[in-house]
A and B are shown apart, each in its own frame.
Chain A
Amino acid sequence: MSIKNIIDAKAIERALTRIAHEIIEKNKGLEDIVILGIPTRGVHIAKRLRDILEATEGVHLPVGSVDATLYRDDIGMKQDQPMLKETDIPVSIDNKKIIIIDDVLFTGRTIRAAMNVIMDFGRPANIQLAVLIDRGHRELPIRPDYVGKNVPTSMQEKVKVRLKEIDGADEVVVEAE
């Protein structure tokens, strides 16, 4: 098995800073923005992004988590059912601009499920998507609005995002058989 290190701690920090500025630019500020991370690592990235955004614009931003497990399209197909994680949407999302945060964008199926969860909580003005890594191979018509880094991969490879909060270090690696 070969392991290839694609980005390090410094590059992750730069990517998040750039995404933060793109969010502010595209939305002409941070009014009505709600940030929702997809557990587990998406939630930690969401909190880091929130910190950068708040420091830049001097405003308070609500941040929460949205677990898509119960809305997945493969329930009853896999032998083992996936473990549930936390959904915590702290404010009303009606007419808000939602930014979904995930670590790796792959088939797009998790994002589809997450959007359905969000729609059951209310009617947002729009939903945007920010990811640290886009590894391609989409199976649904979903595209990210903000990307930390595009990483072309083969289906056999695995992309792993490691974060200080959980894994003790910040890095992104690609593992191949």
Chain B
Amino acid sequence: MRLKRKDILTIEDLTRDEIELILSTAGSFREVSEREIKKVPTLRGRTIINLFYEASTRTRTSFEIAAKRMSADAINISASSSSVVKGETLKDTAKNLEAMNPDCIVLRHPSSGAPDMLARFVKCPVINAGDGSHEHPSQALLDLLTIKEKLGRIDGLKITIVGDIAHSRVARSNIYGFTKLGAKVNVVAAPTMMPMGIEEMGCTIINRVEDAISVADVIMILRVQLERHKVPLFPSLREYSRLFGLDKEKMERAKKDVVILHPGPINRGVEISPEIADGPYSLILDQVKNGVAVRMALFYLLLGGGRE
């Protein structure tokens, strides 16, 4: 069994079988992180470059830990401390990195489509670690793994995604992932944060937050991405929080066994109240734990096979 593709750029490209292969492989990798010696020799001598053009704590650390636990050498480059500040283009950076013969490049970039372009320039596998408001495939995979671990299945579940859908690459990757695995996805957002034509991705728009919460088996809260808003999309954070923030009062309508996900970083008191973020429904830290396993699985499946 293997992934018959060079890169992981989007969930949209992946088939259901490919997603299930990644999830089952990741499930086996969880145990490695619980060992006393949290390292296996599988990717000894391989070099993985984490090229990050945007701020990131979770994703970058997670990719780095995953690479190191597989015994690969991980190199982290962030735009602010690289030749990007001297005006080097992505293409030139890619060509120069390729001359040092890496085995995989992980790219986060503020422009949608940048990983796709990079993948065409370089021979090694490219993993998209988030591109603009396009996709964030490893995040969707870890969300799927977390739900599968807790609820035992994806097929037939009702998923509600609340928040800044228009700017969220996490929402897009997750809508593709959940619908491919047979879940039903409802989205709810302020009208200024709801992109046109989102239904074409296979999800349903619900207008009232309360309705969307009451039907959900899984609630996924998105961060309000103020840094991507070119004009203000709502009058005040307080008003947003009152209308769309998940708090104790809104949770009273939810199913008793509902689970809550948030891709982080959370804005406490804006899209989620502290008592919900830290409460019993929250799987936020399970998501982070599963992130390492998913990224180990991606490295294994892309780099562990034969060289062509």
> A122 — which chain B residues lie within 8 A by C-beta?
36
A interface size (C-beta, 8 A): 20
Q: Are A75 and B37 in contact (CB under 8 A)?
A: no
Evaluate contact between B42 and A120: CB separation under 8 angstroms: no
Partner of B306, one of A71, A79, A83, A88: A79
With A70-B42, A71-B42 as contacts: A77 and B306 at CB distance below 8 Å:
yes
List residues of chain B with CB within 8 A of the CB of A70.
32, 40-42, 300
Question: Which residues of A lie under 8 Å from residue B29 when comparing CB positions?
Answer: 84
CB neighbours of B306 from chain A (8 A): 76-80
Q: Which range contains the number of B residues in contact with the other chain?
A: 20 to 34
> In the bound complex, how far is the Cα of B2 from the Cα of A21, in angstroms?
43
Decide: B42 and A80 in contact? CB cutoff 8 A.
no
Query: Closest Cβ of chain A: how far from B247's Cβ, in Å?
Result: 41
Mark out the residues of chain B between 25 and 68 whose CB falls within 8 Å of any chain A CB in the assembled complex.
25, 28-29, 31-32, 35-37, 39-43
CB-defined contacts of A71 to chain B, threshold 8 Å: 40-42
* Shortest distance between the CB of B36 and any CB in chain A (Å): 7
Proximity string of chain A (88-125) to chain B, C-beta cutoff 8 Å, 1 when within and 0 when not: 10000000000000000000000000001000111000
Q: A50 vs B120: C-alpha distance in the bound complex, in angstroms?
A: 55
In the bound complex, do residue A79 and residue B305 qualify as a contact, i.e. CB atoms below 8 Å apart? yes
Interface residues of A in 44-85 (CB under 8 A from B): 67, 70-71, 75-81, 83-85
1/0 contact string of B285-308 vs chain A (CB within 8 Å): 000000000000000110111110
A172 smallest CB distance to B (angstroms): 27
The answer on a CB contact under 8 Å between B2 and A79 is yes
A86–B31 Cα distance when bound, in Å, is 9
Which of chain A's residues has its CB closest to B27's CB?
A84
CB-CB nearest in chain A for B21: A83
The chain A residue sitting closest to B305, CB to CB, is: A81
A76 in complex: contacting residue of B40, B301, B305, CB < 8 Å: B305
A87 at the interface (CB under 8 A from B): yes
**A80 in contact with B2 given A75-B304, A121-B36 (CB within 8 Å):** yes
| B28 to chain A: closest residue by CB | A84
Nearest 8 A/B pairs, CB to CB: A84-B28, A81-B304, A70-B40, A79-B306, A80-B2, A70-B42, A120-B37, A81-B305
Can you list 13 pairs linking A and B with CB atoms under 8 Å apart? A70-B32, A70-B40, A71-B41, A75-B304, A77-B306, A78-B305, A78-B306, A79-B305, A80-B2, A80-B306, A83-B25, A121-B36, A121-B37
Q: Point out residues on A near B: beta carbons under 8 Å.
A: 67, 70-71, 75-81, 83-88, 116, 120-122
Known A70-B41, A77-B306, A122-B36; 5 more pairs at CB < 8 Å: A76-B307, A78-B306, A83-B24, A116-B41, A120-B40
